[in-house]
Amino acid sequence: MAASKYSKIFEPIKIRRLEIKNRIAMAPMGVGGLTTIEGAFSQRAIDYYIERAIGGTGLIITSLVWIENEIEKHRMPSIPCTSVNPAYFIQTASELTEGVHAYGARIFLQLTAGVGRVGRPAGLLSQPIAPSAIPNYWDPTITCREITVKEVERLVQAFGEAAKVAVAAGFDGVEIHAVHEGYLIDQFTIAMFNRRTDKYGGDLKGRLTLPVEIVKEIKEEAGADFPVQLRYSIKSFIKDWRQGGLPGEKFKEAGRDTEEGLKAARILEEAGYDAFNADAGRAMRPGIGPTPRFIRNMGAISP
């Protein structure tokens, strides 16, 4: 009975041409401290992920990796960064991917543009940034610096460069962090945080310009068949600044509601994203516990 009920989870699934042996995925979990001084994967990190492959996971998604460390400058070492020493990053990451592949698992590298207004000032070597001049989450007395168009375009370019590093290191795909949980790219997509009047702001389509440009750049640099997955929050659960809403609680959504979330998903699918790693809610919102996380093929999204 139990075997029949859950048998689907052990069947293979495809993301573009990539076949994954089962439907068990290890979600990215923001693991810190698994990096070398030069921004590469440490031996501890390699062992950590390979152990999950030994356990039978079909798809492993790494913890977030910086695509660059200049526009939003973080203290290092904190998490890996593809741009500090790309050759060394490829060397250590190749050991990781080879080990994971030896046990039949697939592995995606999660790439991030940064955390924006939720960046802890103590962990930054520069003023916190955001799509617009809005308060920092941790210290509202600090106003985030509005990132320039030139800097946003540099981030898009850096995603393409990081994707080429991922290909060279043997990763099976990348996951973009994220239109998800209130981090930097998500801040661009939400009207509450994005007050820009240039091409990266305005209506929903304008606010989605950044993630759209990112996937197009990656496909251009890494190839059309290289899987690009998006970490995605369908609904924000934001009541107000630094106030989160609880599931089942009645409140006016100040972020992305479900209707807009589904509309945005279709725009992002058309732009080239191959899969969603979807959840609901946002990081660091008071009173909210873990939310369900799962992989969905883009074609499965429906109202």
- Look up 232 and say whether it is catalytic: no
Query: ω before 178 within 30° of 0 (cis)?
Result: yes
Is residue 268 within 8 A of residue 218, CB to CB? The reply is no
Determine the Cα–Cα distance for residues 251 and 237; give it in Å rounded to an integer. 9
Beta carbons of 237 and 245 less than 8 angstroms apart: yes
Rounded CA gap, 231 and 198, in Å? 25
- Contact between residue 162 and residue 221 where contact means Cβ atoms under 8 Å apart: no
Dist CA 235 CA 217 (whole Å): 26
Structural contact between residues 112 and 83, judged by C-beta atoms closer than 8 angstroms:
no
- The total number of residues written for the chain in this structure: 303
Q: Which of 137, 183, 200, 273 is catalytic?
A: 183
Distance of CA 226 to the CA centre of its chain: 16
- Active-site amino acid positions: 183
